[in-house]
Homo-oligomer: A and B are copies of this chain.
């Protein structure tokens, strides 16, 4: 069990003892104040050698008291690390933080305002240099007084007024991408959108706006809108009901889970993707590549969003500007020419 005891931390006094100097001398050398403190070059070299031999690491907490920076940034969210793909925002933010010599303190509120308040105060207590305030689904939030105490960048959400920069996906642009892919394959009619009215999530409304705008530019329009929750089971039921009424040429599914359920409904009805019906999804989740045929899906730039949020915070960009990150279609095999009966 003795092997389980961690090595004791090397302290300034250990370095001073090894170098045979006063602690104040060692401190002056190791905090870059040799010249002001008139330390002789030989002494300076001896202290530096002792520090290297002992593996001395400066006490950042002590330095923080002087510099008032912890080189830690906080990320508070409702449940961002929960969602399989949204976790990429955390990874992007963490990678950017590490690039700039920062580390990321994370905590989730599960949507509870009182938990969020405790978490933000916990971060203030630990003197984080700033806060990334993130949301699982793009939406408009109301910020607490605690959050407004800190330099803040919003990630995947908006607030009025903005406390600083906000980073969100350009879902309108994403919607245009999805429509453009179908137009390019020759589709002009029978295009249905699946997954409208999903709670108060902004993404769905904005994606639909982009789809309509792009189709209108080509002189077409949406043939039908299917309301359903963004789950495979709901989408399956909704698309199955549609197939009993009509034969769509193409389905734009407002996220990949909806497309997953749509595939199941098409298979159950004996229809092939894309020969009989083309399908487009949103998110470009891992699953999109597993489906047969692979699902063409408009990618959510989660990693890039997380990275930009951390960059803006670290660079102390305080401009209350909304940064919209472009969304690109990842082409796989689910979009084809309209079935011959429609051509």
Q: How far is the CA of A90 from the CA of B105 in the complex (A)?
A: 12
Comparing A29-37, A81-89, A185-193, A326-334, the segment that makes contact with chain B is A81-89
Residues of B within 8 A of A58 (CB): 125
**Shortest CB–CB separation between residue A1 and chain B, in angstroms?**
7
- Counting CB contacts under 8 A, is A121 at the interface? yes
Q: Select the stretch in A203-211, A274-282, A285-293 that faces chain B.
A: A285-293
| A119 CB–B CB distance under 8 Å | yes
A19-27, A43-51, A62-70, A172-180: which lies at the interface: A62-70
B59, B161, B232: the one contacting A127 at CB < 8 Å is: B59
Task: Answer yes or no: A269 CB below 8 A from chain B CBs.
Answer: no
- Are A126 and B70 CB-contacts (below 8 A) given A3-B320, A4-B163, A150-B6? yes
Please give the distance in Å from A299's CB to the nearest CB on chain B. 16
| Residue A61 is within 8 A (CB to CB) of chain B in the complex | yes
A14 at the B interface (CB under 8 A): no
List the B residue with the shortest CB-CB distance to A3: B161
Q: Give the residue of B9, B90, B118 whose beta carbon is less than 8 angstroms from that of A149.
A: B9
- The distance in angstroms between the C-alpha atoms of A6 and B123, with both chains bound, is 15
- A320's contact among B1, B87, B94, B149, by CB below 8 Å, is which? B1
Chain B residues, Cβ within 8 Å of A196 = none
Q: How many copies does the complex hold?
A: 2
Complex Cα spacing A127 to B106, Å: 17
Which A270-318 residues have a C-beta within 8 angstroms of B? Answer: 286-287, 290, 292, 318
A229 to chain B minimum Cβ distance, whole angstroms, is 13
Asked if A290 and B107 make an inter-chain contact with CB atoms under 8 angstroms apart, the answer reads: no
Chain A 97-135 interface mask (CB, 8 Å, partner B; 1/0): 110010111111000000100110111111100000000
Q: Which of B98, B103, B123 contacts A126 (CB 8 A)?
A: B103
Q: Contact: A82 with B91, CB < 8 Å?
A: yes
- What are the residues of chain B within 8 A of A126 when measuring CB–CB? 60-61, 70-72, 103
Using CB atoms, name the residue of chain B closest to A60: B125
Partner of A108, one of B61, B84, B91, B162: B91
Chain B CB within 8 A of A214 CB: no
- Tell me whether A81 and B90 are in contact (CB under 8 A): yes
CB distance from A177 to the nearest CB of B (A): 24
A5-B318, A6-B148, A105-B105 given; A121·B87 CB < 8 A: no
Once the chains are docked, how many angstroms separate the CA of A108 from the CA of B226? 41
B60 and A62 contacting across the interface, CB-CB below 8 Å: no
Per the 8 Å Cβ criterion, residues 180-224 of A in contact with B are: none
Residues of B within 8 A of A98 (CB): 107, 115, 118-119, 122
Closest CB pairs A-B (n = 10): A84-B84, A60-B125, A232-B290, A87-B87, A4-B318, A61-B64, A61-B127, A7-B149, A4-B320, A81-B87
5 CB-based A-B contacts, threshold 8 Å: A4-B318, A6-B150, A61-B70, A84-B87, A231-B290
Q: A58-B125, A81-B81, A81-B91 are known; give 20 further A-B pairs, CB within 8 A.
A: A3-B320, A4-B320, A6-B151, A7-B148, A59-B125, A59-B127, A81-B87, A81-B94, A82-B87, A84-B87, A97-B107, A98-B115, A103-B105, A103-B119, A104-B106, A104-B107, A106-B106, A257-B290, A261-B290, A264-B292
